[in-house]
Structure 1
Amino acid sequence: MAAISIRDLCVDFGGAVLAVDHVSLEIPSGQFVAIVGPSGCGKTTILNHLTGLLPVQQGQIAIGGEAPRAGSPRVTYTMARDCLFPWRTALQNVCFGMELRGVPLAEREALARRELERVGLGRFADAYPKALSHGMRQRCALARGFCLESEVLLMDEPFGALDAQTKIQLEDLLLQLWGETRRTVVFITHDLAEAVALADRVVVMSARPGRIVADMAIDLPRPRHVRELQRDPAFLQLYSQVWEQLERGIRLSETQAEGAMA
């Protein structure tokens, strides 16, 4: 059984905008999948359906054989913004998801402190978000996500707003944390180099309406280090191939739009 199964998903907003058009995707347990595509192609919309935040209009979605539902313990969702509560300390923010799931106080604080140490924020457990840099806040959000023992981790451009150096540091940290747990990951990004460096597969979507135009295996050996990969000819070749598929998807959408207007 696939960890995630999407079959013929179509999403139409208000009868006026077809956002996702017959998307099908099977993701086995433990695989790291990156989805790339132009803005507005439905990447985040797919994640919101996987969480159960949006109801399925047409098609089928299953997480571990079950229909997705909001608040399911099977899924952890890390968004583009860190979404830390300003009135909570770093420790209390990391504890929040476990608190909602009913984890006892002593247990959740011990787990939160462990994850804060792993992301390099052990000394900042009692700091409030206003005292943390953007990169530190994203580390805190990562710790919060990895404290939840979910089968599936959904990530929507979690490093998109960071500077280049901090971004590479957090990408390496994510690879390390994922390597220890091997959860099923669906990772949304506009950064093609990031997608190739992190993922086992890169799924390329066309411009709206979003369709899958390529599903590429990334056969780079693991463990990986993002900075070192940037000098690897195999990495550069895969990066170029993903770019070619993205451009093909954009051209395909433009041609179809012109045909519809003719």
Structure 2
Amino acid sequence: MPSATASAHRSANGPAPAALRFSRASVRFGREVLALDDVSLEIAPGEFVSIVGPSGCGKTTLLNIAAGLIPSDSYQGDCQVLGRKPVSGNRDVAYMLARDALCPWRTALRNVELAGEIRGQPMPRRREVARTLLASVGLGEFENSYPKHLSHGMRQRVALARTFSMESSILLMDEPFGALDSLTKIQLQEVLLNLWQAKAKTVMLVTHDLGEAVAVSDRVIVMSARPGRIVADIRIDLPRPRSVKSLQKDPAFHTLHAEVWKRLDEAMSA
């Protein structure tokens, strides 16, 4: 079933317009590499969707299209972000990368403030938002610490807080927890879920971690090896709110994990 957040955006006249819509998108790099082939996908407002697939299948390319980093005249098909063509710098879209990309000369607090600073938020507002989010990710005591004094997991928490500080309605995430150890990863997945449930954002997450995809998502999209095509769209019928830690003991979680793995294995073996 859809998340309560996504369902809240549905009206009596039917579903709300898609937050993200890809229509028969195909991307070729040079003459030789067809990265994506005829991909169509819709993500509803407030929905959390994860994309899994083999390396090189075009997962990040989908994110880059939505972020406006690949011009519309560079690919076939269409993409709509809140009903409009994607453009670079769209304030409705926040993009979290695999690396924290923190500014080493700024404290944790000032790194979180950076997004608001760039977007012209008044100092009192961006300072309030930054402090609230740092507390939400468990780093309220470290607001004056510089990145070199923080662990990798703590730096990713700062990056997560900075991403949410943009107050964008759509969040694109490219393997944000991929380099973390298993325990830290589960802790940050829990933080992400709590923030998402509180902020009602639309999330498109690229990950190689199938457990992560099942734990956090409303749907998991499985892609084939290059050229990337969608081979499965799996509804994650786990109740919300969720606890990532508790799900590790839930038979339904493991059944869904096995289904995602089965479809991915079939795609890689085809």
Instruction: Name the SS of the counterpart of 1:22 in structure 2.
Output: strand
Q: C-alpha displacement at 1:248, in angstroms?
A: 1.2
1:16 aligns with 2:32: yes
Q: C-alpha displacement at 1:151, in angstroms?
A: 1.0
Amino acid at match of 1:86: P
Match of 1:146 in 2: 164
Q: 1:53-88: per-residue Cα shift (whole Å, max 9, x none)?
A: 111311100110011111111100001000101111
In 1, Cα distance between equivalents of 2:247 and 2:135: 26
Instruction: Name the SS of the counterpart of 1:126 in structure 2.
Output: coil
Amino acid at match of 1:211: R
Amino acid at match of 2:199: T
In 1, Cα distance between equivalents of 2:235 and 2:248: 18
In 2, Cα distance between equivalents of 1:243 and 1:120: 32
Instruction: Name the SS of the counterpart of 1:215 in structure 2.
Output: strand
Instruction: Name the SS of the counterpart of 1:195 in structure 2.
Output: helix
Match of 2:53 in 1: 37
Match of 2:188 in 1: 170
In 2, Cα distance between equivalents of 1:117 and 1:49: 33
Match of 1:49 in 2: 65
Query: CA-atom RMSD, angstroms?
Result: 0.7
In 2, Cα distance between equivalents of 1:188 and 1:182: 19
Instruction: Name the SS of the counterpart of 2:197 in structure 1.
Output: helix
1:230 aligns with 2:248: yes
Match of 2:177 in 1: 159
Amino acid at match of 2:104: P
1:180 to 177, 198, 201: 198
2:265 to 227, 247, 259: 247
Aligned positions of 1:185-196 closer than 5 A = 185-196=203-214
Match of 2:22 in 1: 6
In 2, Cα distance between equivalents of 1:123 and 1:232: 34
Q: C-alpha displacement at 1:228, in angstroms?
A: 1.2
Aligned residues: 252
TM (norm. structure 1) is 0.95
TM (norm. structure 2) is 0.92
Match of 1:67 in 2: 85
Instruction: Name the SS of the counterpart of 1:154 in structure 2.
Output: strand
Runs of 5+ in structure 1 lacking a partner?
Answer: 253-262
1:28 aligns with 2:41: no
Identity of aligned residues (%): 58
In 2, Cα distance between equivalents of 1:130 and 1:54: 33
In 1, Cα distance between equivalents of 2:257 and 2:137: 28
Q: C-alpha displacement at 1:90, in angstroms?
A: 0.8
Match of 1:259 in 2: none
In 2, Cα distance between equivalents of 1:143 and 1:230: 25
Q: C-alpha displacement at 1:106, in angstroms?
A: 1.7
In 2, Cα distance between equivalents of 1:110 and 1:50: 29
Q: C-alpha displacement at 1:240, in angstroms?
A: 0.5
Match of 1:260 in 2: none
In 2, Cα distance between equivalents of 1:168 and 1:244: 23
Q: C-alpha displacement at 1:126, in angstroms?
A: 1.1
In 2, Cα distance between equivalents of 1:196 and 1:165: 17
Q: 1:144-196: per-residue Cα shift (whole Å, max 9, x none)?
A: 01111111000111111111111111001111110111210001100001100
